[in-house]
A = this chain, B = another copy of it.
Amino acid sequence: MPRYELEYPKDATNLVKRDGDRGVYSLRRIHELVNASHFLHVSLNIPGLPFPACLPMIGQMGSFERPSADLGDPLDLYIHGYATSRLFRTGREGGTEGVPVCVSTTHLDGLVLSLSAFNSSYNYRSVVLFGHATIVEDPEEKLFALELITNSVVPGRWKQSRQPPTNAELQSTGVLRVRIASGSLKYRTGGVEDDKHDLENEDELNSIWTGVVPVHQVFGDALPSSYNRLETPAYISEYTRELTTGNETYAQTNAKEI
């Protein structure tokens, strides 16, 4: 274990102002949540478009320079997509400095139903990352990123699928590397909260149900394709079962009052 956990420095960009005690700057916790996200929302300004764009993409944190780096280390975000899409065209025009982007992801963990609508809330975890995106040109780095992203669907899937990728596949797939400038995580856990004047109101207490509905994502039994010839391998069935159990445990545990 390292002596201390690295944090993204707090500044005007990433500071969690409202409910500041729910803000987290730990690289490890931020990177963990990003890598546990199947979709990331990537926002950027596209030349000629009168609105910012916010596009769902698939990505993972990693380090090509130091593949053994762990989630608590400084990492880059790799995003993949179709090489001819607007995101990648814009990335190509960003030069060496890169295109300023914001990447965010949110997980819902519970519905928090208080006496007042105002104190009602969600249990959730969200990350916002800021950085500069450039196109990955180095073929080695591109393969590193594609393996990283494929293994985020099911760990080990890259080696378990047909290798190597064809030239046509590599040409039509683009990879962006986002150098992270700043980031933060915000969350809510726990039970309901209410104001004193509501908690002292007998009519409210006698008529309004209060509590938390925990919410979690379930990965169901794998459904084989019509041309599949194999039993479901353990690396798939065990992973999806563990993911589901972990999600349920998290939502249940964190729905409780402290």
Contact = CB atoms under 8 A, between A and B. Distances in A.
* Interface residues of chain A: helix, strand, loop or mixed (majority): mixed
A157 B166 CA distance: 54
A27 interface: no
B256 A162 contact: no
B213 A219 contact: yes
Contacts of A166: 118
A252 B162 contact: no
A231 to B, nearest CB: 8
Copies in the complex: 2
A6 interface: no
Contacts of A222: 113, 209, 211-213
Interface in A20-55: 38-39, 41-45, 48-55
Contacts of A85: 17-18
Chain A contact patch, size range: 35 or more
Interface in A199-258: 199, 201, 204-233, 236, 240, 248, 251-252, 255-257
A111 B219 contact: yes
A27 to B, nearest CB: 18
A39 to B, nearest CB: 4
A227 B199 contact: yes
A218 B213 CA distance: 10
B210 A225 contact: yes
A161 B117 contact: yes
Contacts of A136: none
A91 interface: no
A86 to B, nearest CB: 8
Contact of A111 (B154, B227, B255, B256): B154
A153 B213 CA distance: 10
26 contacts: A12-B49, A17-B86, A38-B108, A38-B215, A39-B108, A41-B41, A43-B43, A43-B53, A45-B52, A52-B101, A54-B102, A54-B104, A58-B122, A113-B153, A113-B157, A120-B150, A206-B229, A208-B230, A209-B236, A210-B224, A213-B220, A213-B223, A213-B236, A215-B218, A220-B248, A225-B257
